[in-house]
Structure 1
Amino acid sequence: MSTCAIPQPLTHQPHVIVVGTGLAGLSAATQLTKHNVPVILLDRAEKPGGNSMKASSGINGAGTKFQSVPDTVEEFYNDTVRSAGKPYATAENIDRERRDKLIELVTKSSKDAVAWLSDDTGIDLSKVAQLGGHSKPRTHRGAKGKPPGAAIVGTLLDSLKANPFAEMKMKARVTKVLKESEEVVGVEYVDAEESTHSIRGPVIFASGGFAGDVHGMVNKYRPDLAGIPSTNEAREGSQPLLSEIGARLVDMEHIQVHPTGFLDQKGPSATVKFLAAEALRGEGGILLLDNGTRFVNELETREFITDAVWKSATKLEGDGDIRQWDVMLLLDEGAAAALDTHMQFYLWKGLLQKTTLGEIGETALETVQEYADIVAGKKADPYGRVAFGNWMLSEPQADSVVYVGKVTPVLHFTMGGVLFNEEAQVLDEQGQPIRGLWAAGEVTGGLHGQNRLGGSSLLECAVFGRIAGDQAAAFWKDHYLTAGEQ
């Protein structure tokens, strides 16, 4: 028998409410505490960190002190526009202007975002790699230690847990956005015991995307992607909650399929996969078909490589309606050494195996010999690759040590979400800001178009999360702080 729970009254001073504890939410909360504004973070998960905790390739920055290859904001901007593709190219008038402002802001702010995390927060981001779709190496991660997502999120979490202005509630699923007289004034959420609570205050949504909701929102907007595994848990997005109070949704059909999710041989038909970080290819790794040949420039955009897999690779037979393809990821010892922390984890999980070229086969040996000649400059790559990371194997032999793993395309990121502006304000159907409501990270739409560059997810979270925090802090002080406390 079910009963209708009665929302419990607010028992403390209104906070700024942040929905989500990934990097966008943590960045917003960190900024709020710097303004001495009380913040409460709500997350439906059991543990904080969101998908940001799993980010493995790094955060983009143009013109940073860590880059040895000259890079500019303009080059980063151009790469982002090119990656965004049709939604940007065909946009008209205000839509084109809005998209342009978002891309301009996130690329221009990338240097400061890296400096904030490295200089102000003390996170090592000194290792720089070139990922697919980028014209320059600009994706930052630590030289050793934890992967970048875990390092960044863990550091911010520790800081917030010790901050008296911050409070965090896990297993708190937001079920309704409260709106009065055209202003968002709080949320309702359900706790682990299914009790309903209400909290009053301005709201920042940083609740992520919906790439794991394959039978719900993915099926609604992209039924053609049915059966493709995901890197995300099966949770629906918060976009419907926001559209219910007037937020406009954009680009919802643009769902990114990442070309390399690990096919774990212990559970090859698992619907949730570990991501094979793009840095594996950025540091020199190559992709092979089941016949041992290369078929694509491994540093093209995610969308381009995924299309190449679908056109060239053998489709695997699987359980039920799961759709997977037979592709091998191969690294030499140079590329592996540049990815020490990643490699330790992947080898421990059995996702990568140490082997020799002779054990893989004669055709693979010939392919690697040709690739080594390309790296050495003896010939041009027929697929157009010009950057090779830390690949060092120059004279491949049958006994040459390599690392290999099976990979397949996976649903990874949703480019669509609530329409927002450069002040992180959520916009309504007329393009006007909804008072008292901001958003940052994957819950938003309009920035990435039809394809997101690797390394720009953490970047947008840091940039727009901090902006949302600053904006909400000013709003809270103007509208919620009593005169006697000012």
Structure 2
Amino acid sequence: MADTSNAIADVVVVGSGFAGLSAAISASQAGASVIVLEKENSLGGNSVVSGGTVTVVGSPIQAREGIQDSFSLLKSDMCQAGQQRNNPRLVQQVIEQSYPTFEWLTNELGVKFKDRVDQYGGHSVPRNHTPEDVSGAAMITALLTKAKQLGVEIRTQTRLSKLLVNSQRDTHPILTGVEVQTTKPSAPIQQINVNQGVVLATGGFSGDTGFRQQYAPHLPPNLDHTNVPNTSAEALVEAIRIGAQCLDLDQIQLAPWVSPDETGYGIAPLFASYTVLAYGLALDPATGKRFINELADRKRWTDKLLEIGHPCIGIADAAGMQNSGIDIEPDLDRGVVKKFETLSSLASTYQIPLEKLNQTISRYNSFVEQHQDPEFGKFIRDYAKPLSSPFYGVRLWPKVHYTMGGLKIDVRGRVLGKGDRPIIGLYAAGEVTGGIHGACRLGGCAITECLVFGRIAGREAATHTQVPS
């Protein structure tokens, strides 16, 4: 039974990660009263446990390092990885707003980034910018601080239970409010009426095994995921109920740089993605040979790993750690990343043929010295060094990481219903949406997308008219 003491706001934002808080700030700056709903006790969702990296085209660091980048090059990279399933207009929006959003983070919110640019798999050039603490937590703190300064009301332990629309027949649905319920036992359902709109920023459904298997039955149901607990699809399901379109729900990304030797996200991704892939190598322990360009996109990586049928071994050294800025030494006691003084001890631990391992390392080192990889075409930075003792190794095997599919939106962040007409008053941003990444998301692009479309959706929700255009 609904609580009769209803609340009211101009805009309600569901979710408190990058997309949600960006939307709340944008809506508030546009003059709206805003309530943010978060179902968990803590704020930030998956954004807090992310590496915080944003993809940016045209940054001063790129210019300083002489990196030739362009909107068209990033668009080509994203659409090639996405197997041309991407909506080009949405992709263009993300790309064009990447640097203005980066400026907003640094100049208005005070987020500090490392004075360097990295290259993730699938990107043609270095364009990934990482926070100083290599974490999304500092960015969430900055967003929260700004939202609170603007007077945004934030409610934790409050779950969306229903989207409310006008009940008139033969009309296009217009969002009028939401029903919510706190996670306290026997809590009543409460209603929040909205004057302007609702922004869904609830993330993906990697942890919702039932929903995931409904649309991607090809994935093993017991496959681990990298997300925080309770990463589920209830808001997506509710939007579908009122007529929202979805796309690409079967396109689920597996992360190749995670380890089966730990649960969830863990410590392996930081070491593997920043150090192993950029400054080291990966090999098949059965053959002792490399099998892929370590900077390939995630889909190519995971497809190749699944073809091999067992975990690969990622190898790096101290020089690689120094270049990446990721010091794994404090975490060696977890037993996920291991340190070896000799290649023979590494080979013995991972059951790699020693002669083949020596040959592979020697061959790769010659590529590093030449700054060219004729075997797989990997981009080798000018300051990369040949691998030398001590060595660091980690086992890598895919986990569910990101769901590319979700609600169909337009360039204004409006959720589209039947006939691609907007559901009036309903907006979405971030991983709950689909269409931007197609079949494969490139690293760093998700956070950029969340921030860009969060700001767009919040502004649009605060200023929209009641008649769709």
TM-score interval, smaller chain: 0.7 to 0.9
1:296 aligns with 2:289: no
Question: What pairs up with 1:16-55 in 2 under 5 angstroms?
Answer: 16-55=11-50
8 Å CA contact retained: 2:415, 2:423: yes
1:7 aligns with 2:3: yes
1:169 aligns with 2:155: yes
8 Å CA contact retained: 2:79, 2:85: no
Offset at residue 112 of structure 1 (A): 1.1
CA distance in 2 between partners of 1:347 and 1:245 (Å): 50
In structure 2, the CA distance between the partners of 1:129 and 1:17, relative to structure 1 (3 Å rule), is same
Match of 1:114 among 97, 102, 107: 102
In structure 2, the CA distance between the partners of 1:9 and 1:349, relative to structure 1 (3 Å rule), is farther
CA distance in 1 between partners of 2:401 and 2:165 (Å): 32
Normalising by the residue count of structure 2, what TM-score does the alignment of the two structures yield? 0.88
Indicate the residue corresponding to 1:157 in structure 2: 144
In structure 2, the CA distance between the partners of 1:82 and 1:10, relative to structure 1 (3 Å rule), is same
The alignment partner of 2:302 has SS state of: helix
Offset at residue 343 of structure 1 (A): 3.1
Indicate the residue corresponding to 2:448 in structure 1: 459
Match of 2:191 among 190, 198, 212: 198
1:85 aligns with 2:79: no
Indicate the residue corresponding to 1:249 in structure 2: 246
CA distance in 2 between partners of 1:74 and 1:345 (Å): 41
Corresponding letter in the other structure for 1:171: Q
The alignment partner of 2:9 has SS state of: coil
8 Å CA contact retained: 1:17, 1:42: yes
Match of 1:284 among 246, 269, 279: 279
The alignment partner of 1:262 has SS state of: coil
The range that moved more, 433-442 or 401-410, is 401-410
The alignment partner of 2:28 has SS state of: helix
Indicate the residue corresponding to 2:365 in structure 1: 372
8 Å CA contact retained: 1:333, 1:392: no
8 Å CA contact retained: 2:258, 2:265: no
Q: CA RMSD, aligned part only?
A: 2.2
1:179 aligns with 2:165: yes
Indicate the residue corresponding to 2:70 in structure 1: 72
Q: Percent identity?
A: 30
Match of 1:130 among 113, 116, 119: 119
Normalising by the residue count of structure 1, what TM-score does the alignment of the two structures yield? 0.85
Corresponding letter in the other structure for 1:179: V
Superimposed CA distance per residue, residues 122-169 of structure 1 (whole angstroms, 9 cap, x where no aligned partner): 212332101111101001013x4x2242221122123323x2521111
1:469 aligns with 2:458: yes
Corresponding letter in the other structure for 1:382: E
CA distance in 2 between partners of 1:437 and 1:275 (Å): 38
The alignment partner of 2:446 has SS state of: helix
CA distance in 1 between partners of 2:224 and 2:266 (Å): 7
Tell me the number of residue pairs that the alignment of Structure 1 and Structure 2 aligns: 439
Indicate the residue corresponding to 2:219 in structure 1: 225
Corresponding letter in the other structure for 2:15: G
Match of 1:334 among 319, 325, 330: 319
8 Å CA contact retained: 2:35, 2:155: yes
Offset at residue 388 of structure 1 (A): 4.5
Offset at residue 58 of structure 1 (A): 0.9
Offset at residue 240 of structure 1 (A): 0.8
Question: What pairs up with 1:305-454 in 2 under 5 angstroms?
Answer: 305-314=301-310, 326-341=311-326, 343=328, 346-347=331-332, 349-358=334-343, 359-361=345-347, 362=354, 363-377=356-370, 380-388=373-381, 391-393=384-386, 396=388, 400-454=389-443
8 Å CA contact retained: 1:45, 1:171: yes
Offset at residue 62 of structure 1 (A): 0.7
The range that moved more, 249-258 or 114-123, is 114-123
The alignment partner of 1:127 has SS state of: coil
CA distance in 2 between partners of 1:262 and 1:252 (Å): 25
In structure 2, the CA distance between the partners of 1:392 and 1:38, relative to structure 1 (3 Å rule), is same
Give the unaligned 5+ runs of structure 1: 89-98, 315-325, 480-486
8 Å CA contact retained: 1:36, 1:165: no
Indicate the residue corresponding to 1:58 in structure 2: 53
In structure 2, the CA distance between the partners of 1:34 and 1:281, relative to structure 1 (3 Å rule), is farther
Offset at residue 211 of structure 1 (A): 1.1
Superimposed CA distance per residue, residues 281-320 of structure 1 (whole angstroms, 9 cap, x where no aligned partner): 4531321222332211111110001111111243xxxxxx
In structure 2, the CA distance between the partners of 1:241 and 1:349, relative to structure 1 (3 Å rule), is farther
In structure 2, the CA distance between the partners of 1:72 and 1:147, relative to structure 1 (3 Å rule), is same
CA distance in 1 between partners of 2:101 and 2:156 (Å): 27
8 Å CA contact retained: 1:204, 1:438: yes
